[in-house]
């Protein structure tokens, strides 16, 4: 759901062009699944990513599977549990305790994706905080708004640690 929230924040609330593709096969339960988001001020002519500018990987498997597609000058956001990754020249790697923050500070590992979105937005400035909050609140299940908003805020705090 994180990719969808990011695309919605960009397209609906920040007025940019955005596409979203996802593939959640049998590996979705704890393995490497993929969500692709393209955000641009220009028209998007092809809705799939061949060489990403940004990669988010919360597991070693995801990092191993997708890091080799990065172009130079990319940004990589990983959870600290991933450890070191092989990245090309001039790739900026940010390792943050995303899952630990969700589990220990918020009491629910399931909101790690919202922590991730906050950190990603803070580091890259790809969408505004206000747009991300609106998109998040329009998508999360009723009754979970406060937890998810708190997770997003924790992500922004983590992102500030590296900026």
Q: What are phi and psi of 131, to 5 degrees?
A: -65, -40
Q: Is 147 left (phi over 0), alpha (psi -120 to 50) or beta?
A: alpha
- Going from N- to C-terminal start, the domains of the chain cover 2-162
CA distance 79 to 92: 14
pLDDT at residue 28 tops 70: no
Tokens of residue 109, six digits? 């590992």
Mean pLDDT over 12-16 rounds to 95
Beta-carbon contacts of residue 86 (< 8 Å; ≥ 6 apart):
67, 68
- Tell me the per-residue pLDDT of 92-131, one tens digit each, with 9 for 90 and over: 999 999 999 999 999 999 999 999 999 999 999 999 999 9
Mean pLDDT of 19-37: 72
Q: What is the pLDDT of residue 95?
A: 95
- Taking the domain 2-162, which CATH number applies? 3.40.920.10
What whole-number percentage of the chain has pLDDT above 90? 71
Place of tokens 């988001």: 37
Q: How far is it, in rounded angstroms, from Cα 23 to Cα 154? A: 27
Contacts of 67 (CB under 8 A, 6+ apart): 55, 57, 76, 85, 86, 87
Its pTM stands at: 0.91
pLDDT confidence bin for 40, thresholds 50/70/90: very high
- pLDDT-derived band at 158, boundaries 50, 70, 90: very high
- Give the pLDDT of residue 66: 84
Phi-psi region of 110 (alpha: psi -120 to 50; beta: other; left: phi over 0): alpha
More confident residue, 28 or 137: 137
Tokens of 110: 């399931």
Tens of pLDDT, residues 48-99: 888 889 999 998 888 888 887 788 889 999 999 998 887 777 889 999 999 9
Query: What's the confidence (pLDDT) of residue 26?
Result: 56
Is the Cβ–Cβ distance between 126 and 7 less than 8 Å?
no
CA 25 vs CA 8, 30, 35, 54, 61: distances in Å = 23, 11, 12, 22, 14
72: its two tokens = 């130079």
């Amino acid at each position: 759901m994180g990719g969808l929230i990011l695309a919605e924040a960009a397209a609906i609330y920040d007025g940019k062009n955005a596409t979203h593709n996802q593939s959640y096969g049998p590996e979705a339960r704890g393995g490497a699944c993929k969500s692709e988001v393209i955000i641009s001020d220009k028209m998007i002519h092809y809705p799939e990513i061949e060489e990403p500018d940004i990669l988010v990987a919360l597991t070693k498997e995801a990092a191993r599977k997708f890091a080799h597609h990065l172009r130079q000058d990319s940004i990589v956001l990983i959870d600290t549990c991933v450890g070191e990754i092989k990245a090309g020249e001039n790739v900026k790697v940010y390792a943050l305790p995303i899952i630990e923050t969700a589990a220990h500070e918020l009491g629910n590992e399931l909101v790690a994706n919202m922590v991730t979105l906050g950190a990603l937005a803070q580091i890259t400035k790809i969408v505004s905080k206000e747009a991300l909050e609106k998109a998040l609140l329009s998508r999360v299940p009723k009754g979970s708004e406060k937890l998810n908003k708190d997770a997003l805020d924790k992500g922004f705090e983590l992102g500030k640690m590296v900026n």
